[in-house]
């Protein structure tokens, strides 16, 4: 029987909510990897700096995305225990 407030009594997210959380996390990680080098390419083209900012921002985006994946995997590991 549903809880009177409309929330699930076991406090676990609904399947739709869980799916949206995954979609958001995956999209965010993808954007963290794609947008920095695109911005770096624009800066390089605008200021004629070769590929300097593309490489710097690509590495930065990769590091940020890997950190996000690491945190996500740690959160999933705690939930499974």
Would you kindly state where each structural domain of the chain is located, as residue ranges?
A: 34-80
* Gap between the Cα atoms of 21 and 9, Å rounded: 20
Q: Tell me what pLDDT residue 1 has.
A: 44
The 8-class DSSP code of residue 7 comes to: S
| DSSP per-residue letters across 21-56 | HHHHHHHHHHHHHHHHHHHHHHHHHHHT-TTHHHHH
Region 12-23: mean pLDDT is 92
* pTM across the whole model: 0.78
Quote the pLDDT of residue 60: 98
pLDDT of residue 5: 52
Encode pLDDT of 32-81 as tens digits: 999 999 999 999 999 999 999 999 999 999 999 999 999 999 988 887 66
pLDDT at 6 over 90: no
CA atoms of 7 and 68, how far apart (whole Å): 29
């Amino acid at each position: 029987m549903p809880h009177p407030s409309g929330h699930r009594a076991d406090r676990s997210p609904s399947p739709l909510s869980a799916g949206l959380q995954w979609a958001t996390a995956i999209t965010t990680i993808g954007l963290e990897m794609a947008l920095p080098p695109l911005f770096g390419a624009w800066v390089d083209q605008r200021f004629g700096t070769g590929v300097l900012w593309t490489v710097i921002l690509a590495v930065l985006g990769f590091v940020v995305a890997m950190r996000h994946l690491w945190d996500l995997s740690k959160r999933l590991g705690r939930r499974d225990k």
